[in-house]
Chain A
Amino acid sequence: MNTLTLWFHKIGSPPTFYRLAGRFTPWLFALAALTGLVGLYGGLVLAPADYQQSDAYRIIFIHVPSAWMSLFIYFVMAVNAFIALVWRIKLSETLAMCCAPIGAAFTAITLATGSIWGKPMWGTWWTWDARLTSELVLLFLYVGVIGLYHAIEDRRQAARAASFLALVGIVNVPIVHFSVKWWNTLHQGSTVRLLGPSAIDASMLWPLLLMALATKLWFLGSLFARARASLLELEAGKDWAREEALRTGAAP
């Protein structure tokens, strides 16, 4: 075994991960809150009103980062699911399953803020265009993964079954992303590009990117917090979990 896999095994062992995650989580949440607040200040106060949408466009600073996260988290979940199914690594099973509720939360935010934004812009809360529909399907996929996971008794078997479903559902992610290109819809096309100039003013761009960073940090923090609880549940028979229970029980 080379040093890399050794290192991976060390980090991947539940007690080690539990300890490390416990140390990182508060920092991740704090950093997320900090960048988020700066981003929101930039977006809500510093950035000027849009010439077309007036102030309504300010929903963009939560809508778009959440939408990106809804796709990104699904991708992370699918990668973990793949590792879980092929190499049966317990940590990956846990991480995949912990991604699902966070992804569902961001998807719900995207749908809610999108339809709130749609009312003043398109005159309707909801239409059945490709982007909106595929995002709704994404929510159903998340809910299906969560539902399947909780419907099976044995935790590890449940994680594998739900991981399988998550992998099957990954086809939907490119559909969501490219839907505006493949079908002509009401929804905006891409305005932010990683390479090349973005079709958005710099005063609006930097808060947007900062919010995107904040949601990523938040995701990591939430993922670690959830993984800690799940690992405890999964390893309830092991000594380290018992020690943890007695330790936290002693200090009320």
Chain B
Amino acid sequence: MSEFLAMGGYGAYVWSSYAIFAVVLAIDYIAPRLHRRRVLAELRGRIKRQQKRTETPT
């Protein structure tokens, strides 16, 4: 196992590459989810505001 991790002496290079790959893709996975959540929350806020605006003056 430790031999596998050592990668013939190049472990630091290989594993840091794979780590970068994993981290960037993880961000790529999460970003649209957060974006969608933000948009939906904002939309709900807007709907609520409009309801208030149509209720109060009349």
Contacts and interface: CB of A to CB of B under 8 A. Distances in A.
A109 B39 contact: no
B35 A229 contact: yes
Interface string B7-20: 11110011011101
Contacts of A228: 32, 36
B27 A59 contact: no
Interface in B32-47: 32-33, 35-36, 39-40, 42-44, 46-47
A102 B14 CA distance: 23
Contacts of A55: 7-10, 14
A83 B18 CA distance: 36
Given A54-B8, A54-B10, A113 B43 contact: no
B17 to A, nearest CB: 4
B4 to A, nearest CB: 7
A145 to B, nearest CB: 16
Contacts of A229: 32, 35-36, 39
A248 B8 CA distance: 51
Contact of A244 (B4, B13, B17, B40): B40
Contacts of B47: 242, 245-246
Interface stretch (A8-16, A85-93, A116-124, A126-134): A116-124
A24 to B, nearest CB: 14
B24 A105 contact: yes
Interface residues of A, number: 40
Nearest to A244: B40
A62 B16 CA distance: 12
Contacts of A242: 43, 47
A248 B44 CA distance: 10
Interface of A: 29, 44-45, 49, 54-56, 58-59, 62-63, 66, 101-102, 105, 108-109, 112-113, 116-117, 119-120, 218, 222, 225-226, 228-230, 232-233, 236, 241-242, 244-246, 248-249
The 4 nearest A-B residue pairs measured at CB: A229-B36, A55-B8, A245-B43, A225-B32
22 contacts: A44-B4, A54-B8, A54-B10, A56-B7, A59-B13, A59-B14, A105-B27, A105-B28, A109-B24, A116-B13, A116-B16, A120-B13, A218-B28, A222-B29, A225-B29, A229-B32, A232-B36, A232-B39, A236-B46, A242-B47, A245-B47, A249-B40
Given A116-B16, A232-B40, 14 more contacts: A45-B4, A101-B28, A102-B28, A109-B24, A112-B17, A112-B20, A116-B20, A120-B13, A232-B43, A233-B39, A241-B43, A245-B44, A248-B40, A249-B40
